[in-house]
Structure formats: structure tokens, C-alpha cells
Structure 1
Amino acid sequence: MPSLRKWLLAGLLVLVPLIITLWVLDWVVGTLDQTLHILPQSWQPDQLFGFHIPGLGVIFALVVVLSIGALASNIIGNKLVDWWHALLHRIPVVRSIYSGVKQISDTLFSEKGNAFRKAVLVQWPHAGMWTIGFQTGAPSGEVLAHLQSQPGRIGDHDEFLSVFVPTTPNPTGGYFVMVRRSDCLELQMSVDEALTYIVSMGVIAPGAPKNTFPKVAAPGATTHPT
């Protein structure tokens, strides 16, 4: 029975990540293949070739994104993008949704941004309890002025960081906090390693072997201290 349990766990550890990965890839490819429906029906690959070819939607979506990026990178494209933004900002309901989403996307995908580029260790939710967060920027303006006016400040040049503290095992939710730089410990691990550490709830530590299984002692076996 101990051997069967060990083999079952080992099999699950091999199959579960593979099955989830294949399921996610199938969902992504299937979703992107739907983008081909924007083409005229006579131009759709299913009509041209007479059968469905999985993955063509991925190529088509990539070409569309690259084309829009190339268009938006020149002067004429910038004018069109500005006109499009101004138009959306005039629609009452769409304006609030689009503005929030655009600010988040600008923060995450901007080449000049610092979002999720550093993993830090912060005391959360209270002193003496530590967790991993990601630096998303630094407060400024009125917020920074209020932070610097709080009791216990060092001076007018106190440095504060904006930190996102994700939840586990689902890191898409979390908390946004602002802490002094001196109260943060910058980690050497990469963002990917930190996310893996969070999602695994501390089971997969950065730098630790990922394919090791716990040893199961044989029935009746005794262990001796070394």
C-alpha cells in the first residue's frame, strides 16, 4: 500500500501539470481561432481549404497585433489612436471602463514602467509577519505628501514604494499597499520564481529541485538520527 500510494502521487505530479498545460493551450488556441470569424466567409481558412486547421487563428491574431503596433508607432497612427481615445472618452459608460483598463495596461506593458519587475519582502498584514510582494511603482503628489507627513517620518525625502501583495494560490487578486523603501527587502529571485513560490504556497522554493518526491519509509523500517 505505501508503494501504491507513492506511485499514485508520482503519477499525479507528472500528469496533472501536463493536463492543465494542454487544457490551457487548447483554450488559448480555440479562443484565438475565433478571431478568423472577422474575415469574410469566403476568406476563412475552413472555406478555402475545406477543413479546419488549428492554430491559424494564433498566427492571424499575431499579425493583427503586429500590424496595429506598427501603425500606432508612426505619426499618422498616433493621430488615429489619439482620435480613437478621445472618441471613447466621450461615451459615458464606456469612458469609465476604458480609462481604468487603459491605465492598467499602460502600467503593465509600458517599456518605461516598473510594474512587476522586482520582487520584494514586506511585513504584511502586520509587523513580524512577512510575505512576498511586487513593486509596481512609487507614490507621488498628494499621496506622497500625506505619507511624508505621518509621525515617525525621517525627513521630507522619505522614499516610499507602491507594492502589490498577491493572494495565494490565486495571485490575480491581492492588496495594494504603500510602504517605506527601508521597510522592504529587495529579493534577488526573478518575478517568475516569486510567482511560482506564491502559487505553490511555498512548496516550490526558488533554487530548490522541482522534481523530487518525498521518500516513503518501508513498513516496519526504523530511522536513526545521524
Structure 2
Amino acid sequence: MSTWKRDFGSGLIVLVPLIVLLLVIGWIYRHIASIPLISTLEPDWLFEPILPLYRVVIALVVFTTLVLAVGYFMRTTLGRIVEARIDDSINHIPALRVVYNASKLAVETALSGTEDLQNPVHLETWEGIRMTAFKTGKKTRDGKLVLFMPTAPNITSGYVIEVEPERVTDTGESVEEAMTRILSAGFAESTHQVSVDGEPGDAPSGDGVDVPTDADPVGGDRDESTDHGDASDSPPPGGRGDPDAGA
């Protein structure tokens, strides 16, 4: 892959999430600020330049109060029943359930607050093949680790795996690096991986000695046709090519 394609891909990975985040924040603000009660709360003593800031503060206060009220309600038995009914209803809608579950998973992951979620690991699923997973901070009763292995590039789906601790190794990456690699389907730049073909001059040259491609492998079998030649071209054991030398 050429340099400009890699740079373009890296730029998309950085900018697209930021643009989506700004669009979501703007959408939430516009809808909260358009509530009739908030739109009419404009005291006459406020200067015109600070009116936008005043609307932002009021919108944040209303949103925070709403979140706290809903959170408190969900702690009750009735709240848990309502949440289960909402989840069940939305999961019957084919397209909407994907967006709903993805958003819910993202919020739950961001607010979990456990250190183990910030620890990507490698799991050898088959001999010589390893996959990236994330610790959930949970264990089974028999001592197995519970991991979440996301699919690429859609991390909202994946597998919950119970595995022996000795089969898990740390990747040495941060969660951001591991997530970026998964979201980009492995094409993102990373300090933990190198290009297979690479750019000219990028590939390591070993000790600097050029080895011809047709050189014999060390300790390998040699081709008799190359080493000894044709028997008709070799001098006989008794002389230097004269057929009468042995007479």
C-alpha cells in the first residue's frame, strides 16, 4: 500500500469518530435547546452576546438532571422491568436493534471503569493462530477467564469466551491501539506490526550481506546435476581427458 493511501486511511480513522461525536453532541443540544420551556428562559438582563452560552448551560443542566432521574428510576424494581420491556421491544425491530445495542454496548464499556477492560490480550485459538480479545474482569467458578473477542471491523458483535489463564498472553498494546487495529481491519499503522512488503528501503537487510537467490541452503541437499555436472563432460579417473591415457 502506497504512502498516501496509508495517510488517508489514518486520517479517516482519526477524523470520522470526531465528526460523528460532534454531530451527536450538536443533535442533542439542538433538541434540548428547542424545548419550549428552555427557549423561553431568556432573562431581559442578559446581554445578547452571552445568550448562546446561557442556552448551553441550561441545556446541560436539564440533560444532567434527566440522566440522574432516569438512573435513579432504573435502580428500582419497576425501572428494571421497564428497561427489560424496552430492550425486548427494540430487539424485535431489525434495523433499529443494531444501533440500539451498539450504543448501549459502547456506553457500558466506557462507563465500566475496570482496569481489566483496558488490557487487550492474545488468545491462541488454533496452533500458530492468535486473535485479539479483551478481559472483562470476570472469572468462572472453575477459574477460567471470561474474555470478549470482538469481530472486525464491527466491534459491536463478537464472542464471549471462557479460557484457561495460561492460554492468554498480553499484547503489550494500549486499548486504543488494539481497538484501532480491529476497527481498521488490521490496516491501521501500529508500532506492534510491520508491513509485509513494505516501502523500498523499509525492509531490514539483516547483516548487510547480499545472498543470491540460487544459493544452496545451509545443510540442505545439493543438486547432483549442478555439483557434479554431466558424466560425459567429466574426465575419466585415469587421465585428463585423453581416452588412451589409461592404456
The equivalent residue for 1:138 is 138
Cα distance, 1:188 vs structure 2 = 2.5
The equivalent residue for 2:86 is 94
Matched, 1:109 2:111: yes
Q: 1:35-87 deviations in whole A, cap 9, x for unaligned? A: 32345264378xx969x969x66x66654565567779xxxx96x6534x524
- Number of aligned residues: 182
**Alignment equivalent of 1:183, drawn from 153, 164, 167:** 167
Cα distance, 1:192 vs structure 2 = 1.0
The equivalent residue for 2:236 is none
The equivalent residue for 2:222 is none
SS of the counterpart of 1:28? helix
AA at the equivalent of 1:160? K
Structure 1's 6 and 70: CA in aligned 2 closer, same or farther, altered over 3 A?
closer
Question: Structure 2: how far apart are the matches of 1:215 and 1:60?
Answer: 57
SS of the counterpart of 1:168? coil
Question: Structure 2: how far apart are the matches of 1:82 and 1:66?
Answer: 17
Gaps of 5+ in 2: 91-100, 202-208, 212-247
Structure 1's 193 and 62: CA in aligned 2 closer, same or farther, altered over 3 A?
farther
Matched, 1:119 2:103: no
Structure 1's 65 and 119: CA in aligned 2 closer, same or farther, altered over 3 A?
farther
* TM-score, length basis structure 2: 0.52
Contact in 2 for aligned 1:108/1:115 (Cα 8 Å): no
Gaps of 5+ in 1: 145-157, 217-223
Structure 1's 36 and 138: CA in aligned 2 closer, same or farther, altered over 3 A?
same
AA at the equivalent of 1:135? K
Cα distance, 1:187 vs structure 2 = 2.8
Q: Which structure would you say has the larger RCO, counting Cα contacts within 8 Å and 6 or more residues apart?
A: 1
Seq. identity, %:
22
Question: Structure 1: how far apart are the matches of 2:173 and 2:21?
Answer: 27
Contact in 1 for aligned 2:32/2:63 (Cα 8 Å): no
The equivalent residue for 1:171 is 155
Cα distance, 1:17 vs structure 2 = 4.7
Structure 1's 128 and 27: CA in aligned 2 closer, same or farther, altered over 3 A?
same
Structure 1's 29 and 17: CA in aligned 2 closer, same or farther, altered over 3 A?
same
**Alignment equivalent of 1:36, drawn from 3, 10, 33:** 33
Question: Structure 2: how far apart are the matches of 1:172 and 1:118?
Answer: 18
Cα distance, 1:194 vs structure 2 = 1.1
Cα distance, 1:89 vs structure 2 = 1.2
Q: Greater CA radius of gyration, 1 or 2?
A: 2
**Alignment equivalent of 1:196, drawn from 157, 170, 180:** 180
SS of the counterpart of 2:75? helix
What is the RMSD computed on CA atoms of the aligned residues?
Answer: 4.7
Question: Structure 1: how far apart are the matches of 2:3 and 2:110?
Answer: 42
